[in-house]
Amino acid sequence: MFDTVLIANRGEIAVRVIRTLHRLGVRAVAVHSAADAGARHVREADSAVALRPGGPAGGTSRTESGGGYLDIHQIIDAARRTGAQAIHPGYGFLSENADFAQAVAEAGLAFIGPPAAAITLMGDKIRAKDTVRAYGVPVVPGSSGSGLTDDQLAEAASQVGLPVLLKPSAGGGGKGMRLVREPAALREEIAAARREARGSFGDDTLLVERWIDRPRHIEIQVLADAHGNVVHLGERECSLQRRHQKIVEEAPSVLLDEATRAAMGAAAVEAARSCGYTGAGTVEFIVSADRPDEYFFMEMNTRLQVEHPVTELVTGLDLVEWQVRVAAGEVLPFGQEQVGFDGHAIEVRLYAEDPERDFLPSGGRVLTLREPAGEGVRVDSGLVEGYEVGSRYDPMLAKVIAHGPDRATALRRLRAALDGTRVHGVTVNAGFLRRLLDDGDVVAGRLDTGLVEARLGSLVDAPMPPEVPLAAALAAQLAREPVTGQDPQIWVDPFSVPSGWRIGRPAWTTHRFLDGDRALIEIRVRRTPHGPGPYEVSCEGAAPLPADLRADGTGRVILTWGGTTQRLDHTVETTAAGDVVHWLSRGADTWRLRTFDPVAAADADAGATAGGALTAPMPGTVTLVKAAVGDAVVAGQVVLVVEAMKMEHALTAPFDGTLAELRAAPGATVTLDEVLAVVEPATAEATDDEVAA
């Protein structure tokens, strides 16, 4: 066993690896970029090494090139300096980089993963299919051979029969994949797939596969040592996806019977043997929902998977531990017949993204964090309060996993866990996931890879209940009133207290909020010293009702209104721009209400308030500016491009006019809704002059 292991990764997977290393009595060394100096994985490691910005091009972020996480030389040097005998790559970054695995071995260190040759072979989807086919593993009907021309791809598609799926041979994550149903679109889609594959992976080699309608994505976990022993640890169902990205995973699959499960497991073992695999890996299959006994090899992931916890919970095995033990040369002490399965486990991925804004990446400082616990609940997280979630890396922040004796129990525990998850300061997708787990087909196990997209509208829509702005208004009102029992020697200006005192009855104080910086909400509040409650509130002009708000000392507020009492989690944020933001949660949903001052808004930049402002749709980095102050622009013309978490968003001119202001340059870091440029509309006089000219 090793004494010291370096983790060449960050975030929740680095924290998760550290947990197992410490349980094994192994020192854990972290590496970190400048942005991650205060991250949780750095705090929990025994030692940490700062990485210089840089690394090879094409990294996780073009703006920082991975912040050093992709620099093979730096990482190996860090391992040597700290006395590490092995390197665990986690997933993402360099985990499936054959050059990295080879460099680690040549440095005399152990790579906690498969041999470089296996990574290379399985990283080429065309060669991988040909290799496993020779071992009797069924593959999806499609093209064969590398370097096919557009004509050859079109011919292969006609032989397979439409619809077909165009896939890049390199890379993954759904990039470059195109579903083609009509012959007339085939050539155009081939060209588009090549462009995206070239841009994402530097390789535009494509293959064609038969499209399976209502496909289910099922993968088999394998474990192999260096002494010829290979076992499978059952399957995981990963059919709930959005844009080819997994968001919910579970084990076992409700689709498979015992015979199919055993056959797929045996096929996965043969796939691992075909490439001389060692360590933990995953063989992915596509299965028809209508014919579950028909399954086809898709690819092999030569690393630990994001969804590995569900396998750990149903088998009782720590996959990271066995990765480490295999890399240290140990023999697997159990065979296939000793692998047992207990109960059901389901995992969801918590992302820094805003479902109501088409899942654009979000960011910010974690102000309040509460992660669920309880029987059968596990959380793998890289979050701590105070951590700044930026735009440089993947948006996955944590995973919430639940285990139970059966699927219904696991689902119930996971729904409750999401209801108990609180992240204030950063918009996350917890509410979206909670509604997905309530979907009737999900509950029944009728899954396929198109289900999420088909239900997206109902899953994203989360109307704000009136209690949320009412609680924000009462909290704002209380913050402006003298504290009960305040020192009488402290003078309070009576004219600054929002008592609403008038001759007769108290007047209303109006509180205005922007819901996610979009819709304006008005709440009126006034004291009622002789009424049934200390306050009366009126929401959007409705009839006033008695209300009260109390804090319980745990970050929650207790709202009594309209004869009901409800608890909400509440955090107040003051932004760098001086805005006051109320974060309020009920169940798995969280709402962000920004205080709106109409006087300040009236004094704001005229161009911005006139609708000509181009604002950042997400926290990120300006990568491109395509116009200068004074330039004439036309409606739809790209003015700036903002990138965050491997996603680009173009900001376009809202109408014909002139670029009056430019507030950001390439490389600038921007915040959500920050004004980056202002376009002044073309005036009638200017238009007449242009016509005359």
d(C-alpha 507, C-alpha 494), whole Å: 15
**Contacts with 65 (C-beta within 8 Å, 6 or more apart), sequence order:** 53, 54, 55, 56, 57, 59
Among the residue ranges 84-88, 192-196, 390-394, the one predicted with the least confidence is 390-394
Q: Does residue 686 register a pLDDT over 50?
A: no
Q: Regarding predicted confidence, which is higher, 591 or 618?
A: 591
Average pLDDT, the chain: 89
404 phi, psi to nearest 5 deg: -155, 170
Task: Assign domain 604-692 to a CATH class.
Answer: mainly beta
| CATH for 141-210, options being 3.40.50.300, 1.10.3720.10, 3.40.50.620, 3.30.1490.20 | 3.30.1490.20
Task: Compute the half-sphere exposure of residue 640: CA atoms within 13 Å on the CB side of its CA.
Answer: 30
- N-terminal to C-terminal alpha carbon distance within the chain: 82
d(C-alpha 346, C-alpha 399), whole Å: 10
Helices and strands in the chain, H and E counts: 20, 38
> Residue holding tokens 């370096």?
6
Three-state DSSP at 341 gives coil
Number of residues assigned to the chain: 693
SS3 of 403-455: the string is EECCHHHHHHHHHHHHHCCEEECCCCCHHHHHHHHHCHHHHHCCCCCCHHHHC
> Residue holding tokens 């890879």?
449
Confidence of residue 688 (pLDDT cuts 50, 70, 90): very low
Q: Does residue 451 register a pLDDT over 90?
A: yes
d(C-alpha 421, C-alpha 593), whole Å: 19
Q: Which pTM value belongs to this model?
A: 0.84
d(C-alpha 657, C-alpha 85), whole Å: 62
Task: Assign domain 216-460 to a CATH class.
Answer: alpha beta
Q: What is the CA radius of gyration of the chain?
A: 28
Query: CATH code for 467-598?
Result: 3.30.700
Token couple for 685: 């006089």
Give the pLDDT mean for 218-237.
98
| DSSP states of 58-100 | S-S-TTTGGGGTT-HHHHHHHHHHHT-SEEE--SSTTTT-HHH
Residue among 3, 15, 17, 651 at smallest CA distance from 321: 17
Give the pLDDT mean for 550-564.
91
Q: Does residue 57 register a pLDDT over 60?
A: no
Q: Report the pLDDT value the prediction gives residue 611, as an integer from 0 to 100.
A: 60
> Residue holding tokens 């994203």?
460
Asked if residue 109 lies in contact with residue 88, where contact means CB atoms within 8 angstroms, the answer is: no
pLDDT digits (tens, 9 = 90+) for 340-385: 999 999 999 999 999 998 898 899 999 999 999 999 999 999 999 9
pLDDT digits (tens, 9 = 90+) for 104-129: 999 999 999 999 999 999 999 889 99
pLDDT digits (tens, 9 = 90+) for 413-433: 999 999 999 999 999 999 999
Q: What are the boundaries of each domain within the chain?
A: 4-112, 141-210, 216-460, 467-598, 604-692
Dihedral Cα 80, 83, 85, 88, nearest 10 deg: -80
The CATH fold assigned to 4-112 is Rossmann fold (3.40.50)
Token couple for 62: 């073009």
The CB density around residue 160, as the number of other CB atoms within 10 Å, is 18
Asked if residue 143 lies in contact with residue 127, where contact means CB atoms within 8 angstroms, the answer is: no
Q: Report the pLDDT value the prediction gives residue 212, as an integer from 0 to 100.
A: 84
pLDDT digits (tens, 9 = 90+) for 276-303: 999 999 999 999 888 888 899 999 999 9
